A and B are shown apart, each in its own frame.
Chain A
Amino acid sequence: MDLPRVLSLQNILSLLFFLLPASALTTGIYMIFSTKPEMATQEIQPNETLTNLKAESDTLKTKLEDERAKLHDVELHQVAEKVDGLGQFIMKTRRTLKGHGNKVLCMDWCKDKRRIVSSSQDGKVIVWDAFTTNKEHAVTMPCTWVMACAYAPSGCAVACGGLDNKCSVYPLSLDKNENLAAKKKSVAMHTNYLSACSFTNSDMQILTSSGDGTCALWDVESGQLLQSFHGHAADVLCLDLAPSETGNTFVSGGCDKKANVWDMRSGQCIQSFETHESDINSVRYYPSGDAFASGSDDATCRLYDLRADREVAIYSKESIIFGASSVDFSLSGRLLFGGYNDYTINVWDVLKGTRVSILFGHENRVSTLRLSPDGTAFCSGSWDHTLRVRDRGYHLGYIPKRTTLSG
Chain B
Amino acid sequence: MARDMSDIDILKMELEQLKKEVSTPREPVSKTSKDTMDWCEAASGTDLLITGVPDDKNPYKPEKGGCIIT
Give A contacts to B, CB under 8 Å: 31, 36, 38, 42, 49-50, 53-54, 56-57, 60-61, 63-64, 67-68, 71-76, 79-80, 83, 86, 91, 94-95, 113-114, 130-132, 191-192, 211-214, 230-235, 256, 268-272, 286-288, 290-291, 305, 307-310, 312, 330-335, 350-351, 371, 374-378, 389, 391-396, 398
Contacts and interface: CB of A to CB of B under 8 A. Distances in A.
B47 A114 contact: no
Given A269-B17, A396-B52, A232 B2 contact: yes
Contact of B2 (A56, A213, A309, A398): A213
Contacts of B8: 49-50, 53
A395 B52 contact: yes
Interface in B14-70: 14-15, 17-22, 24, 26-37, 39-41, 43-44, 46-55, 58-61, 63, 68
A332 B50 contact: yes
Given A351-B36, A375-B49, 5 more contacts: A131-B59, A192-B3, A271-B21, A291-B36, A308-B33
Contact of B17 (A31, A235, A272, A286): A272
Given A233-B2, A394-B52, A395-B54, A72 B39 contact: no
Contacts of B31: 308
A276 B48 CA distance: 31
Contacts of A391: 48-49, 53, 58, 60
A393 to B, nearest CB: 7
A288 B34 CA distance: 13
A273 to B, nearest CB: 10
17 contacts: A50-B11, A54-B11, A76-B33, A79-B33, A79-B37, A234-B2, A287-B43, A288-B36, A291-B36, A307-B32, A308-B31, A310-B26, A312-B32, A332-B40, A351-B36, A374-B48, A391-B48
A389 B21 contact: no
B10 A233 contact: yes
Contacts of B47: 330-332, 334-335, 375
* Size category, B interface: 35 or more
Nearest to B15: A57
B43 A64 contact: no
Given A80-B37, A191-B1, A305 B15 contact: no
What 8 A-B pairs are tightest by C-beta distance, nearest first?
Answer: A213-B2, A332-B43, A94-B60, A332-B47, A395-B52, A392-B52, A60-B18, A212-B1
A335 B50 contact: yes
